[in-house]
Structure 1
Amino acid sequence: MTGDIWQQIFNYDNYGELLFLVRNSLVAGAMLGLVGGIIGTFVMMRDLAFAVHGVAELSFAGASAALLVGVNVAAGSLAGSIVAALIIGALGVRARDRNSIIGVLMPFGLGLGVLFLALYKGRAANKFGLLTGQIVAVDTVQMTWLISTCVVVLMGLCVLWRPLTFASLDPDVAAARGVPVRALSSVFMVLLGLSVAVSIQVVGALLVLALLVTPAAAAMRISASPGLVTLLSVVFALTSILGGILLALGSSIPISPYVTTISFTIYLVCRGVGVLRTRAGSRFSGPPSARGKDTRHLSMRLR
């Protein structure tokens, strides 16, 4: 019994032949790791981890609706993400308001998604894939859409990098200095919605946090430097998604458990390193007051 379970989790028979089939998935995973690692840094700085899940639920509803009516699933996922992002961005100015809105949107989106999947009479694998991801689901058409969307997100972040960082670290001072904080928030939510929509194609709606939140959260445990945090977040996200794809290839289990396990393991290691460095009085992972000084110094440089 144990041997059968292990065979399901790790089976490397004909691995070389199977590896040829997931070339698109590996390229897609690399793009998603890059986007997820970068935008995840801003998600953590802006305290939007809960928002990622809320956007993912409506993205799932949009993808499920598209699957039901027989149109492009990626387009449905994108539409759901953008709608959720615009709602959260427009109405959730304060953290309390934003969280309450997300709390309302999440069960509504999940309920709609479940309804659409219950009505769908096609292959069960298509239903399951929307929730947990599919390793070989990225065909040439999806690949083109995914890469194009990732490029748009990366270009948007490059253009907005400096004011967005300033507004994320110290929104009150940024607003006083003339930075359009509210407009930046709305634009960022749209970019986040695009990132969620493309991530769902690989890791699924329920586990998108492992790609857009956990890597950045892990990086922040061992550094307070925004530049280093972003770099580490990208490395962690790439390790999680590419490692998950390569491990899932030799099994009959969806990709998401592998991605989440790798991502969570990285977080635990980083958390342990952070605790050790705090005890040693490291300047990167010192007490909260020290990290606050680093943040204020960065804000001063961005003004």
Structure 2
Amino acid sequence: MAELWRAVAALAPGNEFLQALAQNAFLQNALLAGLLASLACGVVGGYVMARRITYIAGAIAHSVLGGMGAAGYARAVLGWDWAHPLLGATVAALVAAGLIGVVSLRAGQREDTVIGAIWAVGMAVGVLFIARTPGYNSELMSYLFGNILMVSRADLWLMAGLDAVILAVAVLFHNQLVAVCFDEEFARLRGLPVGLHYFLLLALTALTVVLLSTVVGIIMVIALLTLPAGTAASFSRRLGAIMAWAVAIAMLVTSAGLALSFGPDLPTGAVIILLAGALYLAAAGLAWLLRRG
């Protein structure tokens, strides 16, 4: 792996970022984290855009603070060293996704009310746990606002495992998920268990939110989940093509954001989102001009 980074740096000997990348493990971890998160981001972002559940993703994203706070409290106060913040985030995200699915499909409640409640309650639980945890937990703050430079090797392995699960499920159930996203009534008439696959879609969204929280933070997860897919959708109507382009776009903006923020010492997550937003606006404008021409 070290030889790979040195070879990359040799391609541009005058580039400060590439030189630092070859020498610093934390930058290598950050770059790999962005690439790993981009895989799930592009695939699941396509489903989220097609099903129009962006605000559900937002509620799940903010609820993970509760799981992270509980994990941090368990490690600091109860001595549970295995309680990693990302593990707590995964549990909280899946619970939030399950609650939204149950109430939306079974209880007949207004979905927007449930989303708002889970959004607020998850954040409140996280704030309470953080307040009761001794000392200042900089690790949890990095997940809230995003600090890709703090990603460790252990985080990378967990992210790779989540990626593998997400991509495997997406491949195995792609046709069913597409049917649920585009024509739920037709899928139900064909005998497809729509509720089950809707839960599956929410679970994929939850796992992807956990991945993205390590890159741009909980606050900006929605943007990175939707902007690459939205950019790709400006020029394609096929979901498969949108997903492939969204993965490539996410990889581009995460890598470029890391490189551009390195020299001036800017918050990497914010730079990534600004690049993704600028690219989306440019693509939308170009698509509009092409339609008018």
2:88 to 61, 73, 76: 76
Shifted more, 19-28 versus 142-151: the winner is: 19-28
State the Cα RMSD in Å.
2.1
- Give aligned-pair identity as a percent: 26
Paired position in structure 1 for 2:65? 60
SS at match of 2:110: helix
Report the CA distance between 1:214 and its aligned residue: 1.2
Paired position in structure 2 for 1:128? 141
SS at match of 1:43: helix
State the distance in 1 between where 2:134 and 2:48 align: 37
1:217 to 217, 220, 230: 230
Where in structure 2 are the equivalents of 1:180-219 lying within 5 Å?
A: 180-219=193-232
Task: Give the letter aligned to residue 113 of structure 1.
Answer: G
SS at match of 1:273: helix
Instruction: Report Cα offsets for 1:43-102 as digits up to 9, x if no partner.
Output: 011111001110011112211221233231111111111111111122223998322211
Q: Is the 8 A contact 1:37 1:211 kept in 2?
A: no
Shifted more, 123-132 versus 199-208: the winner is: 123-132
Task: Give the letter aligned to residue 73 of structure 1.
Answer: P
Change (3 A) 1:123 1:253: farther
- Bigger share in helix: 2
State the distance in 2 between where 1:232 and 1:151 align: 19
Q: Is the 8 A contact 2:103 2:109 kept in 1?
A: no
Name the TM-score, length of structure 2 as normaliser: 0.85
Gap regions ≥5 residues in structure 2: 1-14, 76-82
State the distance in 1 between where 2:142 and 2:283 align: 30
State the distance in 1 between where 2:235 and 2:170 align: 24
Q: Is the 8 A contact 1:24 1:139 kept in 2?
A: yes
Report the CA distance between 1:15 and its aligned residue: 6.2
Change (3 A) 1:219 1:106: same
State the distance in 1 between where 2:94 and 2:240 align: 28
State the distance in 1 between where 2:18 and 2:250 align: 24
SS at match of 2:92: helix
Residues 1:89 and 2:101 aligned together: yes
Change (3 A) 1:267 1:257: same
1:17 to 14, 17, 20: 20
Name the TM-score, length of structure 1 as normaliser: 0.82
Change (3 A) 1:175 1:134: same
Residues 1:98 and 2:111 aligned together: yes
State the distance in 2 between where 1:253 and 1:125 align: 18
Gap regions ≥5 residues in structure 1: 1-11, 281-303
State the distance in 2 between where 1:164 and 1:15 align: 40
